[in-house]
């Protein structure tokens, strides 16, 4: 029989990092994400479960045969090394960092003679312990009296792993939302009919999309006819800029039903913009106007601009139509994008976005408009 050794959890833990990561994990208001669907009321935060599992298996250097006869300083240094692994385990979006789990797994194996023990949580509830155990490479088991808890654990431990790395069945939904990562090539220069676009990862893009009724299609058709636009124009054709300006001016007059005036609807749209910030793009500035939306993003490799905008529009159209109890087109089919050429251009676009509600006579100062990066920061 092997001698029981004192474990790290019995001696010391990097509590500030575990606390911070756990507070972030339990943060409310996550928005439209599977994690936000059902919260088990007494769920252990995932980082806590992760830390506890690791520190329960790993032997503290003070009782580890390799270190126990060495000096206190050397034991402290070794404990600090173990803390380093634990701290990396407290990082955000760990599903994007399998190397962190692999490092923890390898370390734990050293302390268990190459065989991790199985983990059983007989009161598993929301399943934090068995879920993290499975991610760390343990054989994980869960049980609970409550059938809802049993279903949650069945999904996390059996169903999700079975379908891991399979693309979604509905091709329309590939890469759109619900966390699916469909990496696709960017389209570089292209034209979607009447405005040219440049799509390249790492570019900062200013995007505008509008409610279906903000500028009637026949008005746009009339302008296209007047400007002799056929769809194959070069990116820098001044007639494209002229068309854009006419559309901007027209929709700033607040035409149409202006559903985005409704705070509940504006919030759905703002949350959608914020949802994949840092994951599929970096959101730099935004403004939800009564009948259109501006967003300034830096694109990221694997997430072409068209997919990002399609994801925002299709998700919010369904949600907003549901809240408004209506059907039919919510957004205009197309959107405008302009890539940012330099710092001066960037400053001008940020200023334009922030100032749009003032220019449209909706408020006196940019920060007074709740549905923009400035208003959100001002906490209005
Ligand atoms: C605090 S929650 C569990 C939290 C979970 N261990 C975690 O880490 O997130 C306690 C769970 O115990 C379950 N429970 C209570 N009495 C039980 C019993 N006699 N047998 C099995 N489960 C029970 C409850 O349904 C509840 O889901």
Is residue 167 within 8 Å of 175, Cβ to Cβ? no
Residue 288, classed as helix, strand or coil, is: strand
In this predicted structure, what is the pLDDT of residue 32? 46
In this predicted structure, what is the pLDDT of residue 368? 93
| Residue 145 CA to ligand 1 centre (angstroms) | 7
CB neighbours of 351 closer than 8 A, spacing ≥ 6? none
Q: Which CATH superfamily is domain 188-378 in?
A: Transposase IS200-like (3.30.70.1290)
Is residue 64 within 8 Å of 5, Cβ to Cβ? yes
In this predicted structure, what is the pLDDT of residue 157? 84
In this predicted structure, what is the pLDDT of residue 155? 87
CB neighbours of 189 closer than 8 A, spacing ≥ 6? 196, 197, 198, 235
Ligand 1 pocket test target in 35, 125, 149 with most atoms within 8 Å of CB: 125
pLDDT per residue as tens, the chain (380 positions): 567 899 999 999 999 999 988 887 776 544 444 555 566 777 788 999 999 999 999 999 999 999 999 999 999 999 999 999 999 999 987 877 888 998 999 999 999 988 899 999 999 998 999 999 998 988 889 999 999 999 989 888 888 777 665 556 665 554 444 333 334 444 444 433 333 444 555 678 899 999 988 888 778 878 888 888 776 666 567 887 888 888 888 888 888 899 999 999 999 999 999 999 888 888 889 999 999 999 999 888 888 888 899 999 999 999 999 999 998 889 988 788 887 877 888 889 999 999 999 998 999 999 999 999 888 766 54
Instruction: Map out the domains of the chain as residue ranges.
Output: 8-163, 188-378
| Residue 46 CA to ligand 1 centre (angstroms) | 16
Is there an atom of ligand 1 within 6 Å of 121 CB? yes
Angle at which helix 46-57 crosses helix 98-110, to 10 degrees, equals 30
| Residue 164 CA to ligand 1 centre (angstroms) | 27
In this predicted structure, what is the pLDDT of residue 96? 77
In this predicted structure, what is the pLDDT of residue 302? 82
In this predicted structure, what is the pLDDT of residue 177? 40
Q: What is the pTM of this model?
A: 0.50
Is there an atom of ligand 1 within 6 Å of 53 CB? no
| Residue 41 CA to ligand 1 centre (angstroms) | 11
In this predicted structure, what is the pLDDT of residue 75? 96
Q: How far is CA 329 from CA 25, 212, 221, 317, 364, in A?
A: 36, 6, 18, 8, 32
In this predicted structure, what is the pLDDT of residue 193? 36
Distance, in Å, from the CA atom of 222 to the CA atom of 226, rounded to the nearest integer, reads 6
């Amino acid at each position: 029989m092997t001698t029981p050794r004192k474990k790290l959890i019995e001696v010391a833990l990097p509590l500030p990092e575990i606390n911070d990561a756990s507070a972030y994990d339990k943060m409310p208001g996550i928005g439209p994400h599977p994690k936000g669907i059902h919260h088990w009321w007494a769920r252990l935060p995932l980082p806590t479960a992760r830390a506890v599992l690791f520190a329960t298996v790993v032997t503290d250097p003070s009782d580890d045969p390799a270190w126990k006869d060495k000096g206190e300083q050397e034991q402290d240094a070794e404990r600090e090394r173990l803390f380093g692994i634990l701290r990396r385990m407290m990082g955000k979006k760990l599903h994007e960092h399998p190397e962190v789990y692999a490092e923890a797994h390898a370390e734990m194996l050293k302390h268990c003679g190459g065989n991790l023990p199985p983990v059983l949580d007989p009161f598993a509830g929301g399943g934090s312990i068995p879920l993290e155990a499975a991610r760390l490479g343990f054989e994980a088991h869960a049980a609970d009296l409550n059938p809802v808890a049993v279903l949650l654990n069945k999904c996390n431990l059996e169903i999700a792993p079975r379908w891991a790395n399979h693309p979604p069945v509905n091709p329309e939904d590939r890469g759109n939302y619900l966390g699916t990562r469909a990496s696709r090539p960017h389209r570089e220069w292209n034209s979607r009919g009447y405005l040219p676009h440049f799509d390249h990862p790492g570019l900062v893009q200013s995007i505008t999309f509008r409610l279906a009724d903000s500028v009637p299609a026949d008005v746009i058709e009339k302008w296209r006819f007047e400007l002799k636009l056929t769809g194959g124009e070069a990116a820098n054709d001044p007639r494209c800029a002229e068309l854009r300006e006419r559309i901007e001016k027209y929709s700033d007059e607040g035409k149409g039903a202006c559903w985005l005036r409704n705070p509940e609807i504006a919030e759905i749209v703002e949350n959608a913009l914020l949802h994949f910030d840092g994951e599929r793009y970096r959101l730099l500035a935004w403004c939800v106007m009564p009948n259109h939306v501006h967003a300034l993003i830096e694109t990221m490799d694997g997430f072409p601009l068209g997919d990002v905008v399609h994801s925002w529009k299709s998700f919010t159209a369904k949600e907003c139509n549901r809240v408004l109890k209506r059907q039919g087109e919510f957004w205009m089919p197309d959107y405008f994008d302009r890539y940012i050429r330099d710092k001066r251009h960037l400053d001008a676009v940020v200023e334009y976005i922030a100032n749009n509600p003032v220019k449209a006579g909706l408020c006196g100062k940019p920060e007074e408009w709740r549905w923009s990066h400035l208003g959100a920061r001002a906490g209005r």
